[in-house]
């Protein structure tokens, strides 16, 4: 059953006042920063008018399976009906849902195909935005059908796992709202690397066996401490090789070039003025997670052939990725 967006309610007037004070401070800092710059800030939302191939693989019998969601040019979620009108091209031959070889079905609870990693930057420079980010992540969990396992991680100068891989919605929503300790330095690249590749005591996203991988990262793009990964492109190459969908969220003070690089070849970056705007911009895409479809192509040889999916005016290349067996 598809779930509607449910933002976790703030508890008590004290927290409302704290959010208001944090936002006011953030807006004042942003205003001061903007006044010192001759280049006006331009919001960016690459989640609009975009089809996401969340995972694609070919099994031992030659069956191609992929999972898709997306938004229209207005940023509204693509409906299951519009996604079911997609065509899948194999070496220039198009297949649609009316062909015997292709079936397109709505993803429902129990289609356990997605591994989802949440990574949040809680360094000094982002502390006024974290409650808003927690609400975004909780809203994503509410919108998703129960098709996922997820891990919740945070970082500043150290990397912390708040909730190891789990399918427990209550535990995951609790983990994204755990208060953070404010730190000074930031190991962004190394922390994203651990989220992807793992380390002793934690399994990284690319080690998970489910066919679809997604990482949602909130950061300002600053790194002043990493040692294993020395650049944004260095760690982004790990996600690109895995074909993980990386969604990067930030506000106006974030480094836009870094956000775009970390989003990589298969993801998207969103950068807006303030946390309130960030919640609003991500909401439609978050709602689209409740409208995912599964495409299954059988009895068609896809080996060494160019694959792509077209939904409306959008065409996206499909590159199957073999993962370990669950």
pLDDT band at 208 (very low <50, low <70, confident <90, very high): very high
At the fourth CATH level, which superfamily is domain 111-289? von Willebrand factor, type A domain (3.40.50.410)
All structural domains of the chain with their residue ranges: 111-289
Q: What is the pLDDT of residue 87?
A: 97
pLDDT in tens, 116-159: 999 999 988 787 888 899 999 999 999 999 999 999 999 998 89
Q: What is the pLDDT of residue 22?
A: 53
Provide mean pLDDT across the span 230-255. Answer: 94
Q: How far is CA 261 from CA 42, 100, 241, in A?
A: 17, 40, 14
Average per-residue pLDDT for the chain: 86
Q: Are 75 and 47 in contact (CB under 8 A)?
A: yes
pLDDT in tens, 170-205: 999 999 988 777 777 899 999 999 999 999 888 999
CA 158, chain centre distance (Å)? 22
In 3D space, the residue among 235, 26, 43 whose CA is nearest the CA of residue 125 turns out to be 26
DSSP character at residue 76: P
φ and ψ of 159, to 5 deg: -105, 130
φ and ψ of 207, to 5 deg: -90, -10
85 token code pair: 């009108």
Q: How far is CA 121 from CA 26, 127, 133, 248, 292, in A?
A: 16, 9, 10, 11, 28
Distance (Å, rounded) from C-alpha 137 to C-alpha 116? Answer: 11
């Amino acid at each position: 059953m598809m779930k509607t967006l449910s933002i976790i309610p703030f508890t008590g007037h004290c927290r409302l006042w704290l959010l208001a004070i944090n936002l006011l401070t953030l807006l004042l800092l942003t205003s001061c920063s903007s006044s010192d710059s001759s280049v006006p800030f331009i919001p960016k939302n690459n989640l609009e008018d975009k089809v996401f191939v969340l995972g694609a693989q070919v099994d031992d019998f030659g069956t191609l399976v992929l999972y898709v969601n997306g938004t229209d040019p207005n940023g509204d979620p693509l409906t299951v009906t519009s996604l079911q009108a997609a065509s899948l091209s194999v070496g220039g031959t198009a297949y649609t849902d009316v062909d015997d070889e292709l079936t397109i079905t709505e993803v429902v609870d129990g289609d356990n195909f997605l591994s989802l990693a949440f990574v949040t930057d809680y360094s000094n420079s982002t502390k006024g935005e974290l409650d808003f980010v927690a609400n975004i992540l909780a809203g994503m969990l509410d919108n998703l059908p129960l098709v996922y396992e997820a891990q919740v991680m945070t970082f500043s100068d150290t990397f912390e796992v708040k909730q190891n891989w789990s399918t427990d919605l209550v535990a995951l929503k609790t983990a994204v709202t755990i208060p953070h300790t404010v730190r000074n330095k930031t190991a962004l690249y190394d922390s994203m690397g651990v989220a992807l590749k793992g380390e002793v005591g934690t399994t990284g996203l690319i080690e998970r066996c489910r066919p679809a991988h997604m990482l949602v990262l909130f950061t300002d793009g600053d790194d002043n401490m990493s040692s294993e990964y020395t650049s944004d492109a260095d760690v982004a190459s790990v996600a690109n090789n895995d074909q993980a969908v990386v969604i990067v969220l930030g506000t106006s003070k974030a480094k836009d070039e870094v956000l775009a690089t970390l989003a990589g070849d298969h993801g998207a970056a969103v950068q807006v003025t303030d946390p309130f705007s960030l919640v609003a911009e991500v909401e439609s895409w978050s709602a689209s997670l409740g409208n995912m479809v599964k495409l299954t192509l059988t009895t068609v040889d896809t080996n060494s052939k160019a694959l792509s999916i077209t939904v409306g005016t959008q065409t996206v290349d499909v590159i199957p990725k073999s993962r370990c067996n669950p």
